[in-house]
Structure formats: C-alpha cells, structure tokens
C-alpha cells in the first residue's frame, strides 16, 4: 500500500528509525533491524517474502526526486511497517 502522508497508529507504540543514505546500512537492512528491535528477536524471515525490495526502493527514490511525500505500508512478521521517502521507518505491533 502506498500512502501520501502517514496514517499509522499512535507514535508511542512505534519503533522509529531513519535510514541514512551515507550509512553503509541499506534501507532494507534498516527495516529488518527496526522490526528486530520492536520484536526483541535476532532472526526474522527474509523481507523479500513480503515486499519487492527493488520496487519499493525505486518507488521511494522516485518520490524523493519529485519531492512527493510518500509512505509505503506493509505487514512483516507480525508488525506493520511504514517506510517514507525521507528514509524514516516506523514499526508497529499488529498484535
């Protein structure tokens, strides 16, 4: 799902991290790390089983180039994940 703006649950339930484009960690690694923090686990299923990482990255890069506020939301291992074109990643428990 792609949203323009963010409509997720209240911020106090979220783990929020930001992918730094100058960091060696990719956006996908940031998402997995944030879910692991939220769930307090070390092992998670591959992200590509839930979302097409290349398509997500291309869409967010396009939104950033066009200066359009965009958020992609999807479910991953019992969490709701919201990723924005600015690199912010919000993780909410769905249980």
Q: Which of 4-8, 63-67, 87-91 has the lowest mean pLDDT?
A: 4-8
DSSP string, the chain: -EESS---S-GGG-EEEE--TTSSS-HHHHHHHHHHHHHT-S----GGGTS-HHHHHHHHHHHHHTT---EEEEEETTEEEEEETTSEEEEEE--
Domain-by-domain residue ranges, the chain? Answer: 2-93
- The per-residue pLDDT for range 24-62, each reduced to its tens digit, is 888 888 899 899 988 889 899 999 999 999 999 999 999
Taking residues 77-94, what's their average pLDDT?
A: 91
Give the mean pLDDT of 61-66.
94
């Amino acid at each position: 799902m792609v949203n323009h703006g963010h409509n997720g649950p209240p911020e106090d339930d979220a783990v929020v991290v930001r992918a730094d484009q100058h960091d060696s960690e990719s956006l996908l690694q940031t998402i997995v790390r944030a879910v692991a923090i939220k769930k307090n686990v070390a092992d998670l299923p591959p992200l590509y089983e839930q979302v097409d990482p290349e398509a997500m990255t291309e869409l967010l890069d396009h939104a950033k180039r066009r200066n359009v506020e965009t958020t992609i939301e999807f479910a991953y291992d019992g969490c709701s994940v919201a990723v924005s074109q600015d690199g912010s990643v919000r993780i909410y428990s769905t249980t």
